[in-house]
Amino acid sequence: MANSEEILNSCLKKVANDQNYENYEITIKAISSGGANYTSALYLATIQAPGKEDLKLFAKVAVVGEKIRAVSPYKLYETENLFYNYILKKYKELEEKNNIPAEYRFVTPKYYGGSDEYLKEIYVFEDLTAKGFTTYDRFKSIDWEYASKSLENLARFHALSIAFSQNEPEEFVNIDIAKDHRDSEETADFVKNVISNALKVTREENRDRFAKFLHGLVDYKELKKFYCSYKRPVIGHGDYRPSNLMHRKIMLQVGNPIVDILYFIFNGSDKKFRDQHLKQSFDHYYEELSKALKRFHLDPEQLYSREDFDFEVEQVLPVGLLLATYCLLIVTVESDDAPQLSQDTGMRDFVVNPNTLYTERLNDIVDDYIKMGII
Protein backbone atom coordinates (compact mmCIF):
# COMPACT_ATOMS: atom_id res chain seq x y z
CA MET A 1 0.00 0.00 0.00
CA ALA A 2 1.32 3.41 -0.94
CA ASN A 3 2.19 5.96 1.71
CA SER A 4 -0.99 7.68 2.95
CA GLU A 5 0.47 11.19 2.86
CA GLU A 6 1.74 10.71 -0.70
CA ILE A 7 -1.75 9.67 -1.78
CA LEU A 8 -3.22 12.63 0.10
CA ASN A 9 -0.80 15.18 -1.38
CA SER A 10 -1.55 14.01 -4.89
CA CYS A 11 -5.30 14.28 -4.31
CA LEU A 12 -5.07 17.71 -2.66
CA LYS A 13 -3.14 19.08 -5.64
CA LYS A 14 -6.03 18.00 -7.86
CA VAL A 15 -8.52 19.61 -5.48
CA ALA A 16 -6.53 22.86 -5.55
CA ASN A 17 -6.52 22.90 -9.34
CA ASP A 18 -10.22 22.02 -9.53
CA GLN A 19 -11.00 24.95 -7.19
CA ASN A 20 -8.82 27.33 -9.25
CA TYR A 21 -6.22 27.89 -6.52
CA GLU A 22 -2.95 29.12 -8.06
CA ASN A 23 0.48 29.37 -6.41
CA TYR A 24 -1.02 27.42 -3.56
CA GLU A 25 0.50 25.97 -0.42
CA ILE A 26 -0.75 22.79 1.21
CA THR A 27 -0.40 21.98 4.89
CA ILE A 28 -1.37 18.59 6.31
CA LYS A 29 -1.95 17.41 9.86
CA ALA A 30 -2.58 13.78 10.78
CA ILE A 31 -5.32 13.38 13.39
CA SER A 32 -6.61 10.56 15.55
CA SER A 33 -10.21 9.49 16.00
CA GLY A 34 -9.38 8.33 19.51
CA GLY A 35 -10.42 4.76 18.74
CA ALA A 36 -13.61 5.67 16.84
CA ASN A 37 -12.25 4.86 13.37
CA TYR A 38 -10.23 1.93 12.03
CA THR A 39 -10.57 1.81 8.28
CA SER A 40 -8.82 5.06 7.35
CA ALA A 41 -5.93 7.35 8.17
CA LEU A 42 -7.46 10.74 8.99
CA TYR A 43 -6.08 14.17 8.15
CA LEU A 44 -6.90 17.85 8.33
CA ALA A 45 -5.51 19.90 5.48
CA THR A 46 -5.45 23.53 4.42
CA ILE A 47 -4.96 24.86 0.90
CA GLN A 48 -3.87 28.51 0.81
CA ALA A 49 -3.45 30.76 -2.23
CA PRO A 50 -3.12 34.54 -2.76
CA GLY A 51 -6.49 36.24 -2.97
CA LYS A 52 -8.36 33.07 -1.99
CA GLU A 53 -10.08 32.06 1.22
CA ASP A 54 -8.26 29.24 3.00
CA LEU A 55 -9.75 25.91 2.01
CA LYS A 56 -10.17 23.80 5.16
CA LEU A 57 -10.42 20.10 4.39
CA PHE A 58 -10.87 16.74 6.05
CA ALA A 59 -9.47 13.64 4.34
CA LYS A 60 -9.72 9.88 4.77
CA VAL A 61 -7.12 7.57 3.25
CA ALA A 62 -7.68 3.81 3.18
CA VAL A 63 -5.50 1.71 5.49
CA VAL A 64 -7.23 -1.67 5.38
CA GLY A 65 -5.26 -4.23 3.40
CA GLU A 66 -6.24 -7.27 1.40
CA LYS A 67 -6.49 -9.67 4.36
CA ILE A 68 -9.54 -7.96 5.85
CA ARG A 69 -10.97 -6.88 2.50
CA ALA A 70 -11.03 -10.51 1.39
CA VAL A 71 -13.40 -11.54 4.19
CA SER A 72 -15.51 -8.38 4.44
CA PRO A 73 -19.11 -8.80 3.18
CA TYR A 74 -19.12 -5.17 2.03
CA LYS A 75 -17.15 -3.12 -0.43
CA LEU A 76 -15.49 -1.09 2.29
CA TYR A 77 -14.46 1.90 0.21
CA GLU A 78 -16.38 1.49 -3.04
CA THR A 79 -19.62 2.23 -1.18
CA GLU A 80 -18.36 5.65 -0.12
CA ASN A 81 -17.44 6.45 -3.69
CA LEU A 82 -20.85 5.18 -4.84
CA PHE A 83 -22.65 7.34 -2.30
CA TYR A 84 -20.90 10.66 -2.92
CA ASN A 85 -20.56 10.34 -6.68
CA TYR A 86 -23.89 8.73 -7.55
CA ILE A 87 -26.49 8.21 -4.82
CA LEU A 88 -26.08 11.64 -3.22
CA LYS A 89 -26.48 13.30 -6.62
CA LYS A 90 -29.72 11.36 -7.13
CA TYR A 91 -30.93 12.48 -3.70
CA LYS A 92 -30.17 16.13 -4.40
CA GLU A 93 -32.00 15.91 -7.72
CA LEU A 94 -35.04 14.49 -5.91
CA GLU A 95 -34.95 17.28 -3.34
CA GLU A 96 -34.76 19.90 -6.09
CA LYS A 97 -37.48 18.25 -8.16
CA ASN A 98 -39.83 18.19 -5.17
CA ASN A 99 -38.89 21.66 -3.88
CA ILE A 100 -37.94 20.32 -0.46
CA PRO A 101 -37.38 23.29 1.89
CA ALA A 102 -33.75 23.77 2.90
CA GLU A 103 -34.42 22.99 6.56
CA TYR A 104 -35.72 19.52 5.64
CA ARG A 105 -32.99 18.50 3.24
CA PHE A 106 -30.45 15.81 4.06
CA VAL A 107 -27.25 17.56 5.07
CA THR A 108 -23.81 16.22 4.21
CA PRO A 109 -20.38 17.87 4.15
CA LYS A 110 -19.22 19.19 0.80
CA TYR A 111 -17.32 16.51 -1.10
CA TYR A 112 -14.29 17.80 -2.97
CA GLY A 113 -13.20 14.58 -4.64
CA GLY A 114 -11.09 11.51 -4.21
CA SER A 115 -10.12 8.23 -5.79
CA ASP A 116 -11.41 4.66 -5.73
CA GLU A 117 -8.13 3.17 -6.95
CA TYR A 118 -7.69 -0.16 -5.17
CA LEU A 119 -5.59 0.11 -1.98
CA LYS A 120 -5.23 3.86 -2.62
CA GLU A 121 -8.77 5.00 -1.90
CA ILE A 122 -9.13 8.54 -0.61
CA TYR A 123 -12.03 10.91 0.06
CA VAL A 124 -11.75 14.66 0.73
CA PHE A 125 -14.49 16.75 2.35
CA GLU A 126 -14.90 20.17 3.87
CA ASP A 127 -13.58 20.32 7.41
CA LEU A 128 -16.66 20.79 9.56
CA THR A 129 -14.59 21.25 12.70
CA ALA A 130 -13.42 24.58 11.23
CA LYS A 131 -17.08 25.66 11.40
CA GLY A 132 -17.43 24.61 15.03
CA PHE A 133 -18.94 21.16 14.52
CA THR A 134 -17.98 18.41 16.95
CA THR A 135 -18.78 14.73 17.35
CA TYR A 136 -20.72 13.37 20.30
CA ASP A 137 -18.70 11.90 23.16
CA ARG A 138 -18.98 8.16 22.43
CA PHE A 139 -18.46 7.30 26.11
CA LYS A 140 -21.63 9.16 27.14
CA SER A 141 -25.19 8.04 26.62
CA ILE A 142 -27.26 10.02 24.16
CA ASP A 143 -30.05 12.20 25.56
CA TRP A 144 -33.47 12.75 24.03
CA GLU A 145 -32.60 16.09 22.43
CA TYR A 146 -29.69 14.53 20.56
CA ALA A 147 -31.52 11.28 19.79
CA SER A 148 -34.64 12.97 18.43
CA LYS A 149 -32.64 15.10 15.98
CA SER A 150 -30.55 12.11 14.92
CA LEU A 151 -33.65 10.02 14.30
CA GLU A 152 -35.19 12.85 12.28
CA ASN A 153 -32.06 12.91 10.15
CA LEU A 154 -32.12 9.13 9.75
CA ALA A 155 -35.79 9.26 8.72
CA ARG A 156 -34.98 11.83 6.00
CA PHE A 157 -32.11 9.64 4.81
CA HIS A 158 -34.39 6.61 4.52
CA ALA A 159 -37.18 8.67 2.93
CA LEU A 160 -34.79 9.71 0.17
CA SER A 161 -34.08 6.04 -0.48
CA ILE A 162 -37.79 5.24 -0.72
CA ALA A 163 -38.36 8.23 -3.02
CA PHE A 164 -35.46 7.07 -5.18
CA SER A 165 -36.91 3.56 -5.38
CA GLN A 166 -40.28 4.99 -6.48
CA ASN A 167 -38.81 7.49 -8.93
CA GLU A 168 -36.28 5.14 -10.57
CA PRO A 169 -37.14 1.56 -9.55
CA GLU A 170 -34.75 -0.14 -11.98
CA GLU A 171 -31.83 2.06 -10.92
CA PHE A 172 -32.57 1.34 -7.27
CA VAL A 173 -32.71 -2.43 -7.75
CA ASN A 174 -29.38 -2.43 -9.59
CA ILE A 175 -27.41 -0.64 -6.88
CA ASP A 176 -24.48 -2.91 -6.02
CA ILE A 177 -23.28 -2.53 -2.42
CA ALA A 178 -22.59 -5.94 -0.92
CA LYS A 179 -20.13 -8.35 -2.49
CA ASP A 180 -20.01 -12.11 -2.69
CA HIS A 181 -18.92 -13.38 0.70
CA ARG A 182 -17.78 -16.75 1.89
CA ASP A 183 -17.17 -17.59 5.49
CA SER A 184 -13.53 -18.13 6.39
CA GLU A 185 -11.74 -19.66 9.35
CA GLU A 186 -10.32 -16.25 10.15
CA THR A 187 -13.78 -14.66 10.35
CA ALA A 188 -15.11 -17.59 12.37
CA ASP A 189 -12.24 -17.22 14.84
CA PHE A 190 -12.97 -13.50 15.18
CA VAL A 191 -16.65 -14.17 15.89
CA LYS A 192 -15.81 -16.87 18.44
CA ASN A 193 -13.44 -14.50 20.21
CA VAL A 194 -16.03 -11.71 20.44
CA ILE A 195 -18.69 -14.07 21.77
CA SER A 196 -16.29 -15.67 24.24
CA ASN A 197 -15.23 -12.29 25.65
CA ALA A 198 -18.84 -11.07 25.83
CA LEU A 199 -19.94 -14.14 27.75
CA LYS A 200 -17.05 -13.80 30.20
CA VAL A 201 -18.32 -10.41 31.33
CA THR A 202 -22.03 -11.37 31.33
CA ARG A 203 -23.58 -11.83 34.75
CA GLU A 204 -23.69 -15.48 35.67
CA GLU A 205 -27.47 -15.64 36.04
CA ASN A 206 -27.89 -14.54 32.41
CA ARG A 207 -24.88 -16.21 30.80
CA ASP A 208 -26.44 -19.46 29.58
CA ARG A 209 -29.49 -17.69 28.18
CA PHE A 210 -27.33 -15.12 26.40
CA ALA A 211 -24.99 -17.80 25.05
CA LYS A 212 -27.91 -19.74 23.56
CA PHE A 213 -29.18 -16.54 21.92
CA LEU A 214 -25.80 -15.61 20.43
CA HIS A 215 -24.97 -19.03 19.09
CA GLY A 216 -28.44 -19.22 17.55
CA LEU A 217 -27.90 -15.98 15.62
CA VAL A 218 -24.32 -16.08 14.41
CA ASP A 219 -25.06 -18.62 11.71
CA TYR A 220 -24.97 -16.44 8.56
CA LYS A 221 -28.21 -17.80 7.12
CA GLU A 222 -30.03 -17.11 10.37
CA LEU A 223 -28.54 -13.64 10.79
CA LYS A 224 -29.22 -12.63 7.20
CA LYS A 225 -32.99 -12.67 7.74
CA PHE A 226 -32.76 -9.69 10.08
CA TYR A 227 -31.07 -7.51 7.48
CA CYS A 228 -33.43 -8.21 4.62
CA SER A 229 -36.54 -6.08 4.35
CA TYR A 230 -39.91 -7.66 4.98
CA LYS A 231 -41.92 -4.71 3.72
CA ARG A 232 -39.85 -1.76 2.45
CA PRO A 233 -36.18 -2.02 1.43
CA VAL A 234 -34.04 1.09 1.90
CA ILE A 235 -30.44 2.10 1.44
CA GLY A 236 -29.35 2.08 5.07
CA HIS A 237 -26.39 3.85 6.59
CA GLY A 238 -24.82 0.73 8.12
CA ASP A 239 -22.82 2.49 10.83
CA TYR A 240 -25.24 5.07 12.25
CA ARG A 241 -23.86 5.97 15.66
CA PRO A 242 -23.06 9.25 17.43
CA SER A 243 -19.33 9.31 16.68
CA ASN A 244 -20.09 9.06 12.94
CA LEU A 245 -22.76 11.73 12.63
CA MET A 246 -20.58 14.74 11.96
CA HIS A 247 -18.65 13.58 8.91
CA ARG A 248 -20.78 10.55 8.07
CA LYS A 249 -18.64 7.56 7.43
CA ILE A 250 -20.90 5.79 4.95
CA MET A 251 -21.01 2.01 4.84
CA LEU A 252 -24.39 1.49 3.13
CA GLN A 253 -26.49 -1.59 2.77
CA VAL A 254 -29.76 -2.24 1.00
CA GLY A 255 -32.01 -3.80 3.55
CA ASN A 256 -34.15 -3.12 6.59
CA PRO A 257 -34.45 0.44 7.96
CA ILE A 258 -34.97 -0.87 11.50
CA VAL A 259 -31.34 -2.04 11.64
CA ASP A 260 -30.08 1.56 11.52
CA ILE A 261 -32.44 2.55 14.36
CA LEU A 262 -31.37 -0.37 16.54
CA TYR A 263 -27.70 0.29 15.78
CA PHE A 264 -28.06 3.91 16.86
CA ILE A 265 -30.04 3.26 20.05
CA PHE A 266 -28.29 0.20 21.47
CA ASN A 267 -24.78 1.45 20.70
CA GLY A 268 -25.40 5.00 21.84
CA SER A 269 -27.62 4.83 24.91
CA ASP A 270 -27.62 3.61 28.47
CA LYS A 271 -30.42 1.83 30.34
CA LYS A 272 -31.85 5.07 31.74
CA PHE A 273 -32.36 6.46 28.23
CA ARG A 274 -33.96 3.26 26.93
CA ASP A 275 -36.30 2.98 29.93
CA GLN A 276 -37.57 6.47 29.19
CA HIS A 277 -37.31 6.74 25.41
CA LEU A 278 -37.11 3.39 23.58
CA LYS A 279 -40.74 3.31 22.44
CA GLN A 280 -40.67 7.08 21.92
CA SER A 281 -37.68 6.67 19.60
CA PHE A 282 -39.55 4.32 17.28
CA ASP A 283 -42.64 6.55 17.35
CA HIS A 284 -40.59 9.66 16.61
CA TYR A 285 -38.71 8.01 13.75
CA TYR A 286 -41.90 6.85 12.05
CA GLU A 287 -43.57 10.25 12.46
CA GLU A 288 -40.55 11.95 10.86
CA LEU A 289 -40.37 9.34 8.08
CA SER A 290 -44.04 9.96 7.27
CA LYS A 291 -43.47 13.71 7.15
CA ALA A 292 -40.43 13.27 4.92
CA LEU A 293 -42.27 10.97 2.50
CA LYS A 294 -45.16 13.42 2.22
CA ARG A 295 -42.70 16.14 1.19
CA PHE A 296 -41.89 13.92 -1.81
CA HIS A 297 -45.65 13.63 -2.48
CA LEU A 298 -45.62 9.98 -1.42
CA ASP A 299 -48.22 8.22 0.73
CA PRO A 300 -46.64 6.65 3.86
CA GLU A 301 -49.67 4.46 4.47
CA GLN A 302 -49.38 2.97 1.00
CA LEU A 303 -45.59 2.63 0.85
CA TYR A 304 -44.71 1.78 4.46
CA SER A 305 -47.63 1.79 6.86
CA ARG A 306 -47.27 2.04 10.62
CA GLU A 307 -48.55 -1.53 10.80
CA ASP A 308 -45.75 -2.70 8.49
CA PHE A 309 -43.20 -0.67 10.43
CA ASP A 310 -44.28 -2.17 13.77
CA PHE A 311 -44.18 -5.66 12.25
CA GLU A 312 -40.59 -5.13 11.10
CA VAL A 313 -39.56 -3.75 14.47
CA GLU A 314 -40.86 -6.91 16.11
CA GLN A 315 -39.10 -9.16 13.59
CA VAL A 316 -35.75 -7.36 13.62
CA LEU A 317 -35.50 -6.37 17.30
CA PRO A 318 -33.38 -9.42 18.25
CA VAL A 319 -30.47 -8.23 16.08
CA GLY A 320 -30.07 -5.14 18.30
CA LEU A 321 -28.52 -7.28 21.01
CA LEU A 322 -26.11 -8.91 18.58
CA LEU A 323 -25.11 -5.52 17.15
CA ALA A 324 -24.40 -4.26 20.66
CA THR A 325 -22.33 -7.34 21.50
CA TYR A 326 -19.97 -6.58 18.62
CA CYS A 327 -20.13 -2.84 18.15
CA LEU A 328 -20.04 -1.71 21.77
CA LEU A 329 -16.49 -3.03 21.88
CA ILE A 330 -15.55 -0.29 19.41
CA VAL A 331 -17.78 2.36 20.97
CA THR A 332 -16.38 1.89 24.47
CA VAL A 333 -12.71 1.14 23.76
CA GLU A 334 -10.23 3.59 25.26
CA SER A 335 -7.90 5.29 22.79
CA ASP A 336 -4.78 3.59 24.18
CA ASP A 337 -6.39 0.15 23.85
CA ALA A 338 -7.69 0.56 20.31
CA PRO A 339 -6.11 -1.82 17.74
CA GLN A 340 -4.03 -0.29 14.98
CA LEU A 341 -4.84 -1.41 11.44
CA SER A 342 -2.41 -1.66 8.57
CA GLN A 343 -2.31 -3.43 5.21
CA ASP A 344 -0.99 -6.54 6.97
CA THR A 345 -3.74 -6.69 9.61
CA GLY A 346 -6.07 -9.68 9.47
CA MET A 347 -9.33 -10.41 11.28
CA ARG A 348 -7.51 -12.44 13.94
CA ASP A 349 -5.40 -9.36 14.74
CA PHE A 350 -8.43 -7.15 15.30
CA VAL A 351 -8.86 -7.76 19.01
CA VAL A 352 -10.68 -5.43 21.41
CA ASN A 353 -11.00 -6.64 24.97
CA PRO A 354 -14.09 -5.77 27.05
CA ASN A 355 -13.65 -2.96 29.56
CA THR A 356 -15.77 -1.77 32.49
CA LEU A 357 -18.07 0.42 30.40
CA TYR A 358 -18.65 -2.35 27.84
CA THR A 359 -19.48 -4.77 30.64
CA GLU A 360 -21.98 -2.38 32.20
CA ARG A 361 -23.66 -1.45 28.92
CA LEU A 362 -23.86 -5.02 27.61
CA ASN A 363 -25.32 -6.45 30.81
CA ASP A 364 -27.96 -3.71 30.89
CA ILE A 365 -28.94 -4.53 27.29
CA VAL A 366 -29.11 -8.25 28.09
CA ASP A 367 -31.48 -7.34 30.95
CA ASP A 368 -33.59 -5.29 28.53
CA TYR A 369 -33.88 -8.22 26.13
CA ILE A 370 -34.81 -10.61 28.90
CA LYS A 371 -37.49 -8.13 30.07
CA MET A 372 -38.81 -7.90 26.50
CA GLY A 373 -39.02 -11.71 26.36
CA ILE A 374 -36.63 -12.00 23.42
CA ILE A 375 -34.04 -14.16 25.20
pLDDT, tens digit, 9 for 90 and up, residues 118-130: 889 999 999 998 8
Residue 23 lies in a domain: no
Strand 234-236 relative to strand 253-255, pairing: antiparallel
pTM over 0.75: yes
Determine the pLDDT at residue 216.
84
Distance, CA of 336 to chain centre: 23
Residue 41 lies in a domain: no
Residue 240 lies in a domain: yes
> What's the structural domain count of the chain?
1
Contact 364, 270 (CB under 8 A): yes
Task: Collect all residues with Cβ–Cβ distance below 8 Å to 145 and sequence separation of at least 6.
Answer: none
Determine the pLDDT at residue 122.
94
Residue 303 lies in a domain: yes
Residue 209 lies in a domain: yes
pLDDT bucket at 190, cuts 50 / 70 / 90: confident
Residue 16 lies in a domain: no
Residue 352 or 182, more confident: 352
Residue 316 lies in a domain: yes
* Domain around 224: 76-110+136-372
Per-residue DSSP letters for 61-74?
EE---HHHHHH-SB
Residue 351 or 171, more confident: 171
Measure the CA–CA gap between 168 and 361, rounded to whole angstroms.
42
Residue 361 lies in a domain: yes
